[in-house]
Structure 1
Amino acid sequence: MRRTTFSSLTVAMSLAAALSAAAPASAGTTATGRTDWVPAPTPPFDYPAGARCDFPIHSEPVVDEVVQKVLATHADGTTKEVAFKGDLVVRVTNTDTGAFYDVDAGGSALVEISTDGSQLWHVIGPVLAGVGEHNGSLARGEYRIDGVYSLAISRTGYKTLRMVHGSTDDICRRIG
């Protein structure tokens, strides 16, 4: 069985937030009204020292075949439920030293987006998730989370991980 993946959770969260605000139900809709999988590219991102790690980091995909499919919309046409899948490997680099680690962000997700902007991610497999200081149930860091779990993201961005089975790997320690 081939494992499917979805984008870096940090980036994908931003993408889902943007989708909830901007993606009409017609995005990826065929002439028959059926919604197809459409590309969901993962942009690079940078964080200064102290935001995720004790040093500045740069992340960018080296493999990105992520697609999304809108499954449901709110009455106003914004995205209510979206699925992500596709191969993704993200290179996380310590920009002070050049040390890097290629993270297999291989997982799949079903994301529920509330009208207040909060999100609930149902995930199987590894993803990359960043957590700011005092902004989640995990300590500040950049993590590879793997297993079966959910990630609740409040409208303010606070992330609560509920692990059913799995593990976390602090990428800051790998490249620090």
Structure 2
Amino acid sequence: MRRIPLRLATAATAVAALAASLAAAPAAGAAGRGGWEPWPSPSFDLPAGARCDFPVHLEPVVDRVERHVLAADPDGTVRRVAYRGALVMRLTNTLTGAHHDADAGGRSHVDYRPDGSQTWRAHGPILLGIGAGAGNLPRDLYTVDGVYTVDIGATGYRTLTIDHGSAEPLCAKIA
């Protein structure tokens, strides 16, 4: 989900915790239907070596992601958000034109902390990028599916803990 580079995000929990978060009261000023607002994913480029051995362009081909702010500080800084909605990201090897459409339309509940760290509790697929030495998985782009947690430290180090599911590396699909 949101947001890779994170547009998860970008950004993995047990289904019960997610359901509880979705039922929580929205923060003041939440927009959209019942507090849900569109949250479009940007297109972006990754240079060779960032995630794959070659440069990759990522762009949404289906993007119906919405966010619901569940908690915010008095100054408006968002602290807890739920994300949902269909998202398919096209990953393209810009050297060869080979591409793969990755389903990243899971649901997540994300806690944002003042030090810049985040915890994603998710159910269903998201797209997760891991840089060299920057996570507990090898450098790659992954479709993570199932029930899982992604902890992103203040330094950007990503720790994926899968309760039930899988992490599929994608660079080889477009090599």
Q: Which residue of 2 aligns with 1:117?
A: 116
Structure 1 residues 52 and 44, CA gap change in structure 2 (3 angstroms): same
Q: Which residue of 2 aligns with 1:96?
A: 95
Q: Which residue of 2 aligns with 1:28?
A: 31
Cα RMSD (Å): 2.0
Q: State TM-score, norm by structure 2.
A: 0.85
Q: State TM-score, norm by structure 1.
A: 0.84
Cα deviation, 1:48-88, whole Å, max 9, x if unaligned, reads 10000000000000000000000011243211110000111
For structure 1, which runs of at least 5 residues remain unmatched after alignment? 1-5, 17-23
Cα deviation, 1:62-115, whole Å, max 9, x if unaligned, reads 000000000011243211110000111100000000000001112100001111
Q: Percent identity?
A: 49
Q: Which residue of 2 aligns with 1:63?
A: 62
The answer as to 2:164 corresponding to 1:161 is no
Cα deviation, 1:29-50, whole Å, max 9, x if unaligned, reads 79xxxx6100100000101100
Q: Which residue of 2 aligns with 1:79?
A: 78
Matched residue of 2:7: which SS? helix
Q: Which runs of 4+ in 1 moved over 2 A?
A: 6-16, 24-27, 74-77
For structure 2, which runs of at least 5 residues remain unmatched after alignment? 12-26
* CA distance in 2 between partners of 1:116 and 1:7 (Å): 19
Amino acid at match of 1:155: A
CA contact (8 A) 2:10 2:128 kept: no
